[in-house]
Amino acid sequence: MKVTRPNVLVLASDVLFQHFFPSAALEKLGAATEWTRSSLREDSTELRHEISTADVLMTTWHSPFLTPDMLGTKSSVKLIAHCGGEVKSRIAESIFDYVTVTNAADPMSRGVAEMTLALVLTLVRRIPEYANEMRKGVIRTNEQVSEGETLFGRKVGIVGFGRIGRTFAQLLKPFNLELLVTDPYAQQNVAEVNNVRLVELDELVSSCSVVVLAAALTPETRHLFDKRRLGLLLDGSYLINVARGGLIDNQALVEELKSGRITAALDVTDPLEPLPENHELRKLPNIILTPHIAAGGLEMRREIGMLAVEEVVRFSNGQPPLNRVTREMLATMT
């Protein structure tokens, strides 16, 4: 059923509004809807009044957590179009039963996969170590060489084979790797299409020299990499986490890193970013830390915003959504 020029409320801070909605996106949104914006980041009487007149809500990372009470008993909201991939911590689960919710995860998965490859190559090629030597005036000659400074031919493990894991696997194709995957929800046909082998987690951890975490954080996966499992990592292996910090027991990781057995790269941490200024991880030499920026910059945010706008335009034209998130999907999402 077509809705004639729906009322859209964009929930975005001043900064994120500029990032997600450049002029082209706003022009497209304005051609199909009547839209207004709220920069409120907490529930309030004012915000509830604004929501009460909306047919569509567009949310961002700075939007308040949405509850049924905020929408009201006679809500006209039929669509929530989120600018981003993760919706679990932004919308109460019961809302999914009566409101269509969409996300825009594809641009983020590409950015995260790209960053993952960058981190893997940085570690394997020992770039931070060599850069530090150059700053200190160390002189190396071609008589000095080490083994293992290549990604080609390695056995690489991916924990979690959703959008990010699959996109990362595609980026690895030129490296002639053996790819192992652990994911209880991955189907064999998906594994075959991506030329990966499904294995149990402990087998992956104990046999791969590069282990990448791309899994959702759920009660079952919290501290999936505890002291025991971290101890299964091969000597000299590399652990990369671009998913959620809670997948790793950070204290156990600190102890493992102090032993010098492994090297790590984390774009996400637990406690959640930003990592406290004096956290022990910041002081260790065998880890690369980045501030949860794997998904990319402005280009990615503009693409996400346009995808969300396109979902709203489809709604106004009576067309089904392209990127719907159902309540059933939440169990396997971060």
Radius of gyration of the chain (CA): 22
Active site residue 292: yes
CA distance 116 to 257: 20
Q: Which of 97, 58, 61, 100 is nearest to 78 (CA)?
A: 100
Structure tokens given for 140: 């190396």
Please tell me which residue in 37, 197, 222, 292 is annotated as part of the active site: 292
Active site residue 19: no
Q: Which of 180, 119, 174 is nearest to 155 (CA)?
A: 180
Please tell me which residue in 222, 273, 280, 302 is annotated as part of the active site: 273
Residue 102, number of CB atoms within 10 A of its CB = 23
Residue with the two structure tokens 């690489």: 156
Distances (CA, A) of 164 to 66, 159, 320, 328: 26, 10, 25, 20
Active site residue 203: no
Please tell me which residue in 244, 256, 303, 311 is annotated as part of the active site: 244
Q: Provide the total of helices (H) and of strands (E) in the chain, helices listed first.
A: 12, 12
Residue with the two structure tokens 């030129």: 174
> Catalytic residue numbers?
244, 273, 292
